[in-house]
Homo-oligomer: A and B are copies of this chain.
Amino acid sequence: MAAFPFTIHATDGAARTGVLSTPRGDILTPAFMPVGTAGTVKGLLVDQVRATGADIVLGNTYHLMLRPGAERVNRLGGLHAFMRWPRPILTDSGGFQVMSLAALRKITEEGVTFRSHIDGGAHVLTPERSIEIQADLLGADIVMQFDECPALPAPEAEVRRAMELSLRWGARSKSAFGSRDSQALFAIVQGGTDETLRRLSAEALVTEGYDGYAIGGLAVGEGHLEMLRTLDATTPLLPYARPRYLMGVGKPIDIVESVARGVDMFDCVLPTRSGRHGQAWTDRGPLNLKNARFAEDTSPIDETLDCPASRDYSKAYLHHLVKSGELLGQVLLSWHNVAYYQSLMARLRVAIISGRLSDFVAQFREP
């Protein structure tokens, strides 16, 4: 398998920049995927998302299977048609959200049974069902293996058990996925912050052979430095020629440091979640627009960004919208944050191509 060509145009240290080519469009890497949890990048029109430069968005299997239901999305033409995003979509496997959101979950070798956090209805996810939902019903371009992701900290035995189960579920996911020309299947390396477990997981998955390799189970409470240490131990074990995806990460500094360690793809709810809570991300961290110091600040958040929300609206107006609980404040700040993240990825790509990534990282650490 290697469904989608991945061309690396330049490297700088461990970092790489290139293009992952899919039938629905190219993905420039390093790439940030805005999260469209339930078929919408919260608060934004797809045209606004695309205008920020996003090449791909993420959809959540867990949310979509519960509402509106995977079979329903399929009858409505698949996820791309449903949400009007014609470009690539990556779906997660549902495993992570089952652990964090669902009630009465029970894990067996076969899979996970759980109750919906929305209506209490009983559901089952197995590797086979997760692949059916992602690949056949939603029609994702990039499909993730079904995995179990334990919350950290956890005892070594628990992390090991979940990692080994995820390997077996990976093999079943791969078997269910089969061979496809226009869709790709990514594995998920697990093992917590334990380097030995990460090595066992990565080596087993690489031996199986997948279209891409995700690093899962980080950004779940272990902290920035532990995450970077785990990345240092894990990314060298992954094949150079295939894309590497760090799941659920993260803050801009996390992304910058991870790109320097050879990660190609990211997703995180932070830009839209921060936007809904009145925060605007910048290279110097988040601005809290609720703060009274912005009440008469006529400057925009960032006039260098080619996004109306970043460039055209005064901080004073945004402050007013946030203080007043206006929908438009949530929309504009979400839009700015997604644009900021895309701009950050574009600048990282340029820094790698021009061989100046270490300067970029140093400046980002100490602005």
Contact = CB atoms under 8 A, between A and B. Distances in A.
Interface string A106-126: 000000000000000000000
A328 B44 contact: yes
A330 interface: yes
A76 interface: yes
Determine how many copies of this chain the complex contains. Answer: 2
B320 A38 contact: yes
Interface in A29-77: 38-40, 42-45, 47, 67-68, 72, 75-77
B43 A82 contact: no
A158 interface: no
Interface stretch (A6-14, A233-241, A309-317): A309-317
Contact of A324 (B38, B308, B312): B38
A331 interface: yes
Contact of A328 (B42, B313, B314): B42
Given A327-B331, A330-B327, A313 B40 contact: no
A353 interface: no
A137 to B, nearest CB: 14
Contact of A317 (B75, B82, B330): B82
Given A72-B295, A84-B312, A328 B43 contact: yes
Given A67-B320, A76-B296, A76-B298, 9 more contacts: A38-B324, A38-B326, A39-B320, A43-B328, A43-B331, A67-B323, A68-B295, A68-B316, A68-B323
